[in-house]
Amino acid sequence: MATGNTKESFLFSMVDMIISLLVIFILLLVVYLRSEISASDVAKSKTGEIKDFLEKKITELGLSGIHVEKLDAFNLAIIVPEEILQFETGKTELNQSAQAFLSQFVPLLLDLISIDAESIAQISVEGHTDHKLRTNVVNKFYNWDLSQARASAVMKYIFQNFKDHPWLNYFQKISLFGGRGAIECQFPEDADEQLTKKCRTVKFKIRTKSKDEIEIMKAHIGPGTAHVQ
């Protein structure tokens, strides 16, 4: 009987321990999920606020044709079609209409940073092309190189023409540029021109910080100091 009682006690102890561990695991899981949901809600709210701000300002400036798209909780893209930010075929130089657009649009980006630098992690400029190759070109990376050079031309314009802007230095810290070629183009090379031209864009992408990133920054440098140049 003593042996049976000992086995029974041991079994109950094991069951109690397993139940306790399960309870602890469930509690930790709940805390983690609540934290993740909270961070996601903050990001959605902040990304949504930035999207609303940009759309309002774009409308006020009369910059029709520009689309602001929310990609996910932390990322959005300002899509500028070829008709607005225009390059000549196979060229990387900004023409007069492209420069006129940037002279209006870039101050909007810099104003956004001045208002909410604490929440913005990164601003990137991306060049995009269609799948078509020029008839005298054999380099399969042609469109990739072309889109890279066009994104570079936009960045050079910003730094050359807004060098006295008080927020340009901060923009430089959080910005990057790159060429994406035709990697995001959904239409084949032989598609109708009205479709393929939708791929020839420049995108300004904005990534917002997570709640944890903001808290870590505040802990290291203090609240509000992201606004200091």
Instruction: Determine what percent of the chain is predicted with pLDDT higher than 70.
Output: 76
CA distances from 14 to 7, 18, 20, 205 (A): 11, 6, 10, 54
Q: Which of 65, 60, 87 is nearest to 78 (CA)?
A: 65
The whole-model pTM stands at 0.73
Answer yes or no: is pLDDT of 18 > 90.
Answer: no
Per DSSP, the three-state class of 55 is: helix
pLDDT confidence band for 39 (50 / 70 / 90):
very low
Backbone angles phi, psi at 207, to 5 degrees: -110, 125
pLDDT confidence band for 228 (50 / 70 / 90):
very low
Answer yes or no: is pLDDT of 112 > 90.
Answer: yes
**CB-based burial label for 109 (10 Å; 0-12, 13-18, 19+):** buried
Q: Which of 77, 78, 74 is nearest to 41 (CA)?
A: 74
Q: 31 versus 49: which is more confidently predicted? A: 49
Compute the average pLDDT of residues 186-214: 83
| Beta carbons within 10 angstroms of residue 149's beta carbon | 15
pLDDT of residue 44: 52
Quote the CA–CA distance of 51 and 68 in Å, as a whole number: 7
Quote the CA–CA distance of 116 and 112 in Å, as a whole number: 6
Answer yes or no: is pLDDT of 37 > 50.
Answer: no
pLDDT confidence band for 83 (50 / 70 / 90):
confident
Compute the average pLDDT of residues 124-147: 80
Compute the average pLDDT of residues 126-151: 81
Half-sphere exposure for 143 (CA within 13 Å, toward CB): 19
Q: Which one-letter amino acid corresponds to residue 115?
A: I
pLDDT confidence band for 87 (50 / 70 / 90):
confident
Answer yes or no: is pLDDT of 38 > 50.
Answer: no
Quote the CA–CA distance of 170 and 173 in Å, as a whole number: 5
- Say which CATH class 42-227 falls into: alpha beta
Answer yes or no: is pLDDT of 26 > 50.
Answer: yes
**Mean of all residue pLDDT scores within the chain:** 81
Quote the CA–CA distance of 205 and 223 in Å, as a whole number: 25
pLDDT of residue 11: 59
User: Which residue spans within the chain are E strands per DSSP?
Assistant: 67-70, 75-81, 120-127, 175-179, 201-208
pLDDT of residue 6: 63
Q: 187 versus 41: which is more confidently predicted? A: 187
Q: Which of 166, 169, 129 is nearest to 150 (CA)?
A: 129
Fill in the DSSP letter of residue 87. Answer: B
